[in-house]
Chain A
Amino acid sequence: MTGRGGAPPGAFGPRRLLAALPAALRKLGPRHMARNPVMFVVWTGAALTTVLALASPGFFAVAVAAWLWCTVLFANLAEAVAEGRGRAQAAALRRAKHETVARRLVPDGDGREEEVPGVRLRVGDLVVVEAGQTVPGDGEVVEGIASVDESAITGESAPVIRESGGDRSAATGGTRVLSDRIVVRITAKPGDSFLDRMIALVEGATRQKTPNEVALSILLAALTTVFLLAVTALQPAAAYSGGPQSVIVLVALLVCLIPTTIGALLSAIGIAGMDRLVRHNVLAVSGRAVEAAGDVDTLLLDKTGTITLGNRQATEFVPVPGVSEAELADAAQLASLADETPEGRSIVVLAKERHGLRAREEGQVTGAAFVPFSARTRMSGVDLDDGRMVRKGAAAAVITWVRETGGASLTEIGPLVDAISASGGTPLVVAACAPGQPARVLGVVRLKDIIKAGIRKRFAELRRMGIRTVMITGDNPATAAAIAHEAGVDHFLAEATPEDKMRLIRQEQADGRLVAMTGDGTNDAPALALADVGVAMNAGTNAAKEAGNMVDLDSNPTKLIEIVEIGKQLLITRGALTTFSLANDVAKYFAIIPAMFTGLHPGLRHLNVMGLHSPESAVLSAVVFNALVIVALIPLALRGVAYRPAGASRLLRRNLALYGVGGLITPFAGIKLIDLLISPLPGLGG
């Protein structure tokens, strides 16, 4: 679970294939084969030719029968290899799922505890977990705060904080509490926990076909029907022409024509797609969600944490006329000494850098009483024992405070504040008063959102992919517009409330667009449920995780962009291999049809453009190529077709050239090569 992106080296090596062989052989039973109509036709053909080869043995008959079985086996191998990768991850997860004993609080027992096995817990039970113990099931922290090791789930070794209330209240079964004591209310039935679902997911046990996969299967079944009929109708036509064909040759032709390449790899592509997501530490509730990610038209991104770093930094002191910058810096630093927020720290640092003001430790300022920030006053500061008071905070709050002390309201402060807002900064007004005197405004500290490195480029890529980005922020429209411009998002929603967000999603969906978003808080849950792709942060609340259809174990909101790419890559891989598979048929016709009928109509030798050795070697070469191409494409099916963000036109041109034209040409070379290799064998005419 620690591997991120890409597969471990040697993932597709021969050893991996060999290891999957027993599983592939087990899949040869008719019941398993019947699930895939294309491969079932091959299976039936292989059985038929085997009977015929046994009835009248000959090198050609036996070789065709053997290679048809190989074709079936290779298809099973692809699926087995894909499943094997998931199974290894599931085993690692199972180790975290060992039996735990839960300390359940007896209802109304005044804190009395009883020990019950973890599997007997019911939804609503309260359990106590202390340092060194394992959380017995999924739930919500209702009491206490603790550091928790969640590496079993996330692969991230740094402990995380889980506390009651707020957005970090989710506790996951199988994780270990490292310090302190928490009380957890169980919210999931045993067997239906996050860990259980994750195991089922990576094992592929709950895998259902996605809509596009279903659509493709239908098309492949229809093509198989057409070819079945074309080959069946060929026999009376051949008989009429005076050259009825052997059943073995007809079966070989049929197997070569039906889309075996994509039919064999289709389920492996689906499993590998989910697996790729897991490797990016994202869990999807269903494959449908992964596919929907590829279709997304609009991305809703929270500003903080996604587009900007979580904290703002002070970048400038802007004094009002008559106040020196150093004076403002000194006051601001003083007001921030006890301010442990990143913003406060950055003010202290900036004052030191710009004006050489050494940071005074809290203890150094004697007799100082610190006024902490509160949501009501919206400012913080310090009261010194000499009677001096310094405050910093939102403009309106500080100005009100100045008025209350009898100070004059300064008209100059308005334009300063507005200018900073308009440029995307957050203004922090600083005011101070000498003992017994009315307070006065000293100036403004500019706090700036720091746009994440490289995010602008990602948005440009998204635009090329045809995806609209909308930034969601609580900032005022002027600030939001400036940040949106700097980050390069297409639109923004300022002063957004959860209701605004819902309205935006509904509007986009009414216009026929698919919406993706991330969220972590409880109040994000309705929007996450409404969005077509809702990615919940693992660090978030259980409500959010239940509402979304994906969970990002890294709690990285930018991951959404990678999820979209994985979704697209999944579809592209399917389309590319389908195109390749169909394009292959052209060459196979040119190999087999002249082989079948040149004896009857000598003119058809002109169709033998590859100059194949003999009719038998031509048919066998096509069958062998058809089987080998499956093995050759297993790595591509598992890894996915290379995806670079680009518009649909460019992607189409590139992939058509690569897999359409490539699929047309490759088999001509491949069949000719195989023919050259096998033509010296005895029993192949010539």
Chain B
Amino acid sequence: MPDAGAGLLGIGALLLLLALAHVPLGNHLARVYTSERHLGAERLVYRIARVDPRADQRWTAYALSLLAFSAVSALLLYALLRLQGVLPLAQGHDGMHPSGAFNTAVAFVSNTDWQWYAGENTLGPLVQMAGLAVQNVLSAAVGLSVAVALIRGFTRSRTDRLGNFWVDLVRGTVRVLLPLAVLAAVVLAACGVVQNFHAAREITTLGGGTQALTGGPVASQEAVKLLGSNGGGYYGANSAHPYENPTPFSNFFQIFLLLLIPSALPRAFGRMTGSPRHGLAVLAAMGVLWAAGLAAVTAAEAAHGGQVPQAVGAATEGKEWRFGVWDSALFAASTTGTSTGATDARHDSFTPLGGGALLAAMLLGEVAPGGVGAGLYGMLVLAMLAVFLAGLMVGRTPEYLGKKLRPKEITLLALYVLVMPVTVLAGTGLALGFPEPRATLLAGPPHGLSEALYAFASAANNNGSAFAGLGADTVFWQTGLGLAMLIGRYLPMVVVLGLAGSLAGQQHTPTGTGTLPAHTPLFTGLLVTVTVVVAGLTFFPVLALGPLAEGLR
């Protein structure tokens, strides 16, 4: 039984590593997106794609490029999934049916990686590598580009140009994600994660039964699955599968990977805006929310609620013995806090309040510290909201980093803040209101309510982890969650780009003692409070009927 001491030691080591890594990586990210130089490989890409890397785009052109790229990506992936049966390396798997292929294509292009299927008995290595892993890299680069465009909204003045989407996309891929993924894949392979092209092999187990074991290029996919806050596993069991995540160390390394880029982005933001203290305040708010989520999950799982957990000393159901309760809680809190959605334990089996805490981490809007790129722009939107509410109280038109929040900006902020709750609440309401989806919920109320809410929270926040406990292989869930992923990903992105365009057009206002300080512990506290209150006020009623009703005795 892993005790609290070992658990705390692991958390401490993780924080230390992230603290050491976030400064150089953040600086590197800032350099990547501000550098004037193009690498040879990048120039080649631009020439093949016929892109002029010097073209500076308006926010509309930037957004259209992004949407067009994503649409083409989704169509290609959809075709790959449908046509798998006639392509090589299918290992005997057929193509997916239309609603399933739609759901999966959207899931991977939108950086969600919701999986209604189990990878090892649905997809062969070609689709996994050329389809899913490629989108794992590209969708993360798309997320980064939107965050960078928003930062440019703050750093630029009196311009309608936000940079070039294609350049940002290529640089994020070539200079950030691919090098890190190669390094990470090597480490994971060294830990014992498989990397081969073996089809299913029958083996005889120790007990005398037989089992089919599928190999595959897992280590390479695993690396980017975590680095890019994707979370789509090669196997259905995701990071609980021994081929994906064999040892406690690989588990620890995976948690490090999924937190790495999101926790370095505030530093890049601080560097690019020339005010590292502002980046630190944002990072601190992310850290506080992450720590609070972790504390809640760990407390709930280790608190011995219920008969069986009391007998064994903790809530161990659905958790891998290799990792234990503390490490499973750490993985779960980090994967829901980063919109990654990889799992090394079954979230449905967490205690009601522990599962509720995981749900809450997503419902905050994936900002603790959130997905690659998406976490930063989500948190900056909340920071602007906090500035608006508090800024009025210092007697000036609210401004963040020298940019005023006028009716136009507030309209966009309000739109951003509306998208996720509307999608989650409407989806959950529909799922519970109609008999067909209601019938797919394996548990009755109140746990069934948590399952439905979790599914839409995961999809609309592009997390992709599943509470499981519901039959997701139906047209309602595949289409409904597919739409939730699309809306939850691209509507906020377009809004953020519009916001960036509006901010970049503004003249920079110098800050003084009369302007609200957005880099103090007070501001961090305010930001945390606003994040929690906004999400809390929206979701408290449904959370009360789900996890709270189940967990409070």
Say which residue of B397, B508, B515, B537 sits within 8 Å of A648 (CB atoms).
B515
B351 → chain A, closest Cβ, in Å?
A: 13
Given A211-B406, A218-B411, A238-B545, are A229 and B393 neighbors across the interface (CB < 8 Å)? no
B552 and A218 form a contact (CB under 8 A) = no
Nearest A residue (CB) for B507 = A512
| Given A229-B425, A239-B432, A606-B552, A593-B392 contact (CB < 8 Å) | no
Decide: A604 and B544 in contact? CB cutoff 8 A: yes
With A294-B396, A652-B393 as known contacts, state yes or no: A466 contacts B421, CB within 8 Å: no
Let me know if B125 is at the binding interface, CB within 8 A. no
Q: CB of A597 within 8 A of chain B?
A: yes
Stretch at the interface among B209-217, B332-340, B383-391: B383-391
Which A282-322 residues have C-beta < 8 A from chain B? 291, 294-295, 297
Q: Is A647 an interface residue (CB 8 A)?
A: yes
Q: Tell me the minimal C-beta distance from B516 to chain A in angstroms.
A: 5
Quick one: CB contact mask for B504-538 with A, threshold 8 Å, 1 for yes?
00011110111111001010001001000100111
Q: Kindly state the separation between the CA atoms of A69 and B149 in the bound complex, as whole angstroms.
A: 48
- What does the 1/0 interface line of A441-484 toward B look like (CB < 8 Å)? 00000000000000000000001111110000000000000000
Contact check, B549 vs A601: say whether CB atoms are below 8 A apart. yes
A463 and B396 CA atoms in complex are apart in Å by 15
Q: Separation in Å of the A237 CB from the closest CB of chain B?
A: 5
Decide: A649 and B510 in contact? CB cutoff 8 A: no
A568 close to B510 (CB less than 8 A): no
Smallest CB separation, A145 vs chain B (Å): 44
**Is there a chain A Cβ closer than 8 Å to B182's Cβ?**
no
Instruction: Count contacts on B: residues with CB < 8 A to the other chain.
Output: 66
Give bound CA distance, A656 to B391, whole Å.
11
| Interface presence of A578 (CB below 8 A) | yes
Q: How many angstroms from the CA of A501 to the CA of B217 in the assembled complex?
A: 72
Interface residues of A: mostly helix, strand, loop or mixed? Answer: helix
Q: A236-B429, A237-B428 are in contact. Are A648 and B516 (CB under 8 A)?
A: yes
What is the CB-to-nearest-CB distance from A373 to chain B, in angstroms, rounded to a whole number? Answer: 44
Contacts of B410 in A (CB 8 A): 215-216, 218-219
Contact with A along B388-425 (1 / 0, CB 8 A): 11111111110000100111011101110110011001
A234 to B545, CA, bound (A): 9
Query: Is the C-beta of B40 less than 8 angstroms from some C-beta in chain A?
Result: no
Query: Which of B184-192, B282-290, B444-452 lies on the face that meets chain A?
Result: B444-452
B553 pairs with A603, CB closer than 8 A: yes
> Closest residue to B509 on the A side, CB-wise?
A512
* Contact of A226 with B418 in the complex, beta carbons under 8 Å: yes
When the two chains form their complex, are residues A212 and B414 in contact, meaning their CB atoms are under 8 A apart? no
Do B390 and A575 have beta carbons less than 8 Å apart? yes
Residues from chain B with a CB closer than 8 A to the CB of A295 are 396-397
| A574 to B536 Cα, complex, angstroms | 23
A52 to chain B, nearest CB (A): 21
- In the complex, A575 Cα to B386 Cα: how many Å? 11
* Contact between A239 and B446, CB atoms less than 8 A apart: no
Q: How far is the CB of B352 from chain A (nearest CB, A)?
A: 10
Give every chain B residue within 8 A of A582 (Cβ-Cβ). 389, 533, 537
CA distance A674 to B465 in the complex (A): 45
Contact A215 B406 (CB under 8 A): yes
Determine the chain B residues whose CB is within 8 A of the CB of A222 once the complex forms.
Answer: 414-415, 417-418
Interface assignment of A614: CB less than 8 Å from any CB of chain B: no
Whether A230 and B541, one on each chain, are in contact in the complex, defined by CB atoms closer than 8 angstroms, is yes
Q: Is the CB of A237 within 8 A of B551?
A: no
Residues from chain B with a CB closer than 8 A to the CB of A219 are 388, 410, 413-414
Number of A residues with CB within 8 Å of any CB on chain B = 76
B417: chain A residues at CB < 8 Å are 222, 226
Is B549 touching A597 in the complex (CB atoms < 8 A)? Answer: yes
- Does B197 sit at the interface, judged by CB under 8 A? no
| Interface residue ranges of B356-400 to A (CB < 8 Å) | 388-397
B11 neighbours in A (Cβ, 8 Å): none
Residues of A within 8 A of B414 (CB): 218-219, 221-222
Rounded to whole angstroms, the CA-CA distance of A569 and B394 in the bound complex is 9
Known: A568-B395, A648-B515. A230 touches B549 (CB 8 A): no
Question: Which residues of chain A come closer than 8 Å to B405, judged between CB atoms?
Answer: 215
B347 CB to closest chain A CB (Å) equals 20
Contacts of A510 in B (CB 8 A): 507
In the complex the two chains form, is A233's CB within 8 Å of B542's CB?
A: yes
Expressed in whole angstroms, the minimum distance between the Cβ of A499 and any Cβ of chain B is 23
Q: Is A225 at the interface (CB under 8 A from chain B)?
A: yes
Cross-interface CB contact of A233 among B388, B402, B415, B429, cutoff 8 Å: B429
The 8 Å CB contact of A297, one of B510, B522, B548, is B510
A509, closest chain B residue (CB): B507
Q: Which of A529-578 contact B (CB under 8 A)?
A: 567-569, 571-572, 574-576, 578
Instruction: State the Cβ distance, B404 to closest chain A Cβ, in Å.
Output: 8
For B541, list chain A residues within 8 Å (CB): 230-231, 234, 237, 253, 589, 593
Q: Quick one: CB contact mask for A229-251 with B, threshold 8 Å, 1 for yes?
A: 11111111111111000000000
Residues of chain A within 8 A (CB-CB) of B249 are: none
Contact of B517 with A233 in the complex, beta carbons under 8 Å: no
Q: Does A401 contact B (CB under 8 A)?
A: no
Contacts of B515 in A (CB 8 A): 466, 648
Contact A572 B395 (CB under 8 A): yes
CB distance from A288 to the nearest CB of B (A): 11
B46: A residues at CB distance < 8 A: none
Name the residue of chain A whose CB is nearest to the CB of B410: A215
7 A-B residue pairings within 8 Å (CB atoms)? A216-B410, A226-B421, A230-B539, A234-B545, A465-B514, A466-B514, A571-B393
Q: What 4 A-B pairs come out closest when comparing CB atoms?
A: A466-B514, A575-B392, A568-B395, A603-B552
User: Residues of A with Cβ closer than 8 Å to B?
Assistant: 211-212, 214-216, 218-219, 221-222, 225-227, 229-242, 253, 257, 291, 294-295, 297, 463-468, 510-513, 567-569, 571-572, 574-576, 578-579, 582-583, 585-586, 589, 593, 597, 600-601, 603-604, 606-607, 643, 647-649, 651-653, 655-656, 659-660
Kindly list 15 other residue pairs between chains A and B, CB separation below 8 angstroms, not including A230-B425, A465-B514, A600-B545: A211-B397, A215-B406, A216-B410, A219-B413, A222-B414, A225-B418, A234-B542, A237-B541, A239-B432, A253-B541, A297-B512, A571-B396, A572-B394, A648-B515, A648-B516
